[in-house]
Structure 1
Amino acid sequence: MTNISHDHPLTYTFGILGNIFSFMVFIAPVPTFYRIIKKKTSEGFHSLPYVVGLFSAMLWIYYAMVKTNVILLITINSFGIFAEIIYVAIYFTYATKKQRIKSLGLVLLLNVGAFGLIIFLTQILCEGPKRVAVIGWICMAFSISVFVAPLSVMGRVIRTKSVEFMPFNLTLTLAVSAVMWFMYGLLLRDIYVAVPNIAGMLLGVLQMILYGIYRNSKPNDVAAETKLPTIVKVDQELPTKVNSEPYQVIIPIKGGKIGEAKDGKNLEDAHINSQV
């Protein structure tokens, strides 16, 4: 295959499409943060995905600036930095003190410490094409590790037989985005852009296959146990015996299991995971 230049129409086409689909991925958390703002609490969310997303965008901006002539990497990752900073700022605003301390530690470790060290070492120890290669390998290794992260979600889908935690629209968008960036990197013969997106494409296809297998499946007990707990309270004291014989208290729970207590013991068993 002949080498295609940066300004070739095909290169720009895939780069622009990559920007569009990556933009959709970056704005996917908007409903989550709208809910956080509305409820004025960070709920059970963690800042790690957004701190890591910010770090990834910073790395790719640095790579694009050192390599030059890859303006489409700069445009989308500039927006990515802006979006992730907004998300992290909102999280800090509504998180608990403990959550803020943990998040601040992550920001200092990744976005200040690790990123600063990468810049320092590559500027001091490398120059020219070698610097581009070193930064490229760092970006590639980190991107692959990020793409591998959904394996835990895939394992959860298989375990629970439920696709509740793997929304199809986001999965499809991530897969298509990986295809666009793979083609962009392939046309430029840039292995640092192309190779990580091979992993993204493969994992995207696997996730969609899993979605097709389990989308109509009835969730098993493991999935049911991930629901929000409903606490069943017994307001009156129960006797330990009925007619000198052991008795059984049955508490039906809508949409869940049945809680029982024998001989007046283990009433905590009546705290069933369910949604009423």
Structure 2
Amino acid sequence: METSSVADSLLSGACVVFTLGMFSTGLSDLRHMQMTQSVDSVQFLPFLTTDVNNLGWLSYGVLKGDGTLIIVNAIGAVLQTLYILAYLHYCPQKRVVLLQTATLLGVLLMGYGYFWLLMPDDEARLQQLGLFCSVFTISMYLSPLADLAKVIQTKSTHRLSFSLTIATLLTSASWSLYGFRLRDFYIMVPNLPGILTSFIRLWLFWKYPPQQDKNYRLLQT
């Protein structure tokens, strides 16, 4: 029993460390925006969708009483909100950014109203919220597939981040194991695509290494 408890604590700690490490990769984008005083080459939607994802899993963690989910997603939501505010500050086209933010926040508020006001039963609320978070997380992990197809087409991995790939692989694997230990398929299943897409990215880095990528771009010019 004691060994099992230690293993669970280590797995919980791994989830926290790896996930916060993945979230902190956005700090390089934050530093880039501060140094250049612009949002050039920085994408906004990943910040926004990750923030919504964090808030959804935070609610699931609160309802389930899971401290690991609460800690990770509370800190993640704060970081993503910081990135969003920085992007808004340096972005010249604030109207588009505000419209996208308001739209997703509106969807989030409608979801909260549905889950917390129209569903009085806690168990049903937990199931529905878990399903929503799972679908949203899976869509986030599968959304970069178009970029991966572009990498194969151009034979260039310059648009991929190796550090983010490793962080995503470790994070997805730790949460899949965590969900398996808890017998919570809402946590386990949506992280499996993260493992798959991470291995695909690693294969692309092996197939099109940085040196070959550099030579390919020189030939193109």
Does the TM-score normalized on the shorter chain lie above 0.5?
Answer: yes
- Residue ranges of structure 2 left out of the alignment (5+ in a row): none
**Contact conserved, 1:42 with 1:95, CA < 8 A, in 2?**
yes
The counterpart of 2:67, out of the listed 64, 67, 71, is: 71
Residue of structure 2 in register with 1:31 after alignment: 28
The counterpart of 1:14, out of the listed 11, 31, 51, is: 11
Q: Helix, strand or coil: the match of 1:162?
A: coil
TM-score by length of 2: 0.91
Quote the offset at 1:150 in angstroms: 2.1
**Contact conserved, 1:54 with 1:84, CA < 8 A, in 2?**
yes
Is it true that 1:88 corresponds to 2:84 in the alignment? yes
**Contact conserved, 1:21 with 1:177, CA < 8 A, in 2?**
yes
Quote the offset at 1:218 in angstroms: 3.2
Is it true that 1:141 corresponds to 2:135 in the alignment? yes
Task: Letter of the 1:57 partner, please give it.
Answer: N
Could you give the per-residue CA deviations for residues 138-166 of structure 1, whole angstroms, max 9, x where no partner exists? Answer: 00000000000221221122111122111
Is it true that 1:128 corresponds to 2:125 in the alignment? no
Matches within 5 A, 1:231-250: none
What RMSD in Å do the two structures reach over aligned CA positions?
A: 2.1
Query: Higher relative contact order at CA 8 Å, sep ≥6: structure 1 or structure 2?
Result: 2
Task: Letter of the 2:22 partner, please give it.
Answer: V
**Contact conserved, 1:160 with 1:219, CA < 8 A, in 2?**
no
Quote the offset at 1:217 in angstroms: 6.7
Task: Letter of the 1:115 partner, please give it.
Answer: L
Q: Helix, strand or coil: the match of 2:168?
A: helix
**Contact conserved, 1:51 with 1:84, CA < 8 A, in 2?**
yes
Task: Letter of the 1:24 partner, please give it.
Answer: G
Q: Structure 1 CA distance, aligned partners of 2:132 and 2:6?
A: 29
Task: Letter of the 1:63 partner, please give it.
Answer: Y
Task: Letter of the 1:106 partner, please give it.
Answer: Q
Matches within 5 A, 1:81-230: 81-96=77-92, 98=93, 100-110=94-104, 112-126=105-119, 127-215=121-209, 218-219=212-213, 224=217
Quote the offset at 1:47 in angstroms: 1.5
Task: Letter of the 1:21 partner, please give it.
Answer: F
Quote the offset at 1:119 in angstroms: 1.0
Count of residue pairs brought into register by the alignment: 218
Change in Cα spacing, 1:43 to 1:220, as seen in structure 2 (3 Å) is: closer
Q: Work out the percentage of aligned pairs sharing the same amino acid.
A: 22
Quote the offset at 1:66 in angstroms: 1.2
Quote the offset at 1:177 in angstroms: 0.8
Change in Cα spacing, 1:207 to 1:256, as seen in structure 2 (3 Å) is: closer
Give structure 1 regions of 4+ aligned residues with deviation exceeding 3 angstroms: 216-221
Give the number of the structure whose alpha-carbon radius of gyration is greater.
1
